[in-house]
Amino acid sequence: MSEREYQEGENQENNPQVQQSGGGSQAFCSKPREQSKAPNGQPFSSLQKMEAFRPLESGSMNVPQATWSAGKENINRTSSSGAAKRKNASQQTQPRRAGRFLRPGTPQNALPRFSSFRMEEDPQIQQDQPETQSQQQIIDMASSTTKTSWGTIHCLTIVGQVEGHQVLPPNNKTTKYEHVMPLLAAVEESEEVDGLLLLLNTVGGDIEAGLGIAELVAGMRKPTVSLVLGGGHSIGVPLAVSAKRSLIVPSAAMTIHPVRLNGLVIGVPQTFNYFERIQERIVQFVVHNSKVKREEFISLMLKTGELAADVGSVIYGEEAVRIGLIDRIGGLSDALDELYQMIQKK
């Protein structure tokens, strides 16, 4: 190959115009290719590559100039939106504290300070923990502990149906004795709790579970006050009288009826004797922990004609106080006053 032919081939390679392929044509940039790297030694970005191969004239490519400008704007828009997303993600990411995120608005100086042996938290965060624990206690155990200048009171609620040895359906509101019993023991042994306030709104439930809770409350040395709200029916009657002082609101009701049994009943004399023995346990407990007379209580329990489909009686606040079943009429403030007075005397 002569030197002239070699020079012509090199010029044709550096300045391509139009190449035919399969009857079609394809236009190439009239501007020669630039280096694969920028002058600073870094690789070209997508925008820089497009600038490097941009046509010198709008008519030298099949792609119109308007399309070229739109593509450039899309790259700029994509690049700016990606940077904005990364910036927002970095702002939303918050430092961790002991395995969980800090609350929004927490200052940076509230981060835990690490040492070689343990991690110390900010004192302000430690002060917020008792409030969180109290809220969680209300959710889990339906109870709360309140500390005032007159004393520290633990409030326990018994609502719905007292659950026994069988788990009730999930749509029933229940009080589980396996939760209440250890809680009562903890209140009795705690040096920080001075008294117990028992709030009742129950339809009754399992006899042995209800009597077990009532016996625990009656055996406590610390001051205890019960308040009947809405209703204290069936086994709720022993629970109401188990405290050292009992109160009832005027609109509350209490149902007194004989023992019932669900399921299979064997029609023999031993079954009815068993019912009488269980019923006697309830009568003895109520009479021992209240001022009601035994004969009057049994008369109310076996009364007929008052309940449409059952045997027994329904009494309300004033009548419960009149017969000596409950100590006095009162509301929440009265119950708290009674409890604080007992704490001061102790």
CB within 8 A of 208, min separation 6: which ones? 164, 165
The candidate with the shortest Cα–Cα distance to 160, out of 175, 150, 170, 145, is: 175
Report the C-alpha dihedral over residues 250, 251, 254, 255, rounded to 10 degrees. Answer: 140
* Separation of alpha carbons 280 and 206, rounded Å: 16
CA angle 120, 123, 128 (to 5 degrees): 115
Radius of gyration of the chain (CA): 42
* Separation of alpha carbons 154 and 68, rounded Å: 76
List active site positions: 234, 257
Contact by Cβ (8 Å): 285, 236 = no
Exposure of 97 in the CB half-sphere (CA atoms within 13 A) = 18
CB within 8 A of 29, min separation 6: which ones? 53, 54, 55, 56, 60, 61
Instruction: Decide: helix, strand or coil at residue 27.
Output: strand
CA angle 276, 280, 286 (to 5 degrees): 145
Written as six digits, the tokens of 65 are 């100039």
DSSP 238-264: HHHHTSSEEEE-TT-EEEE------S-
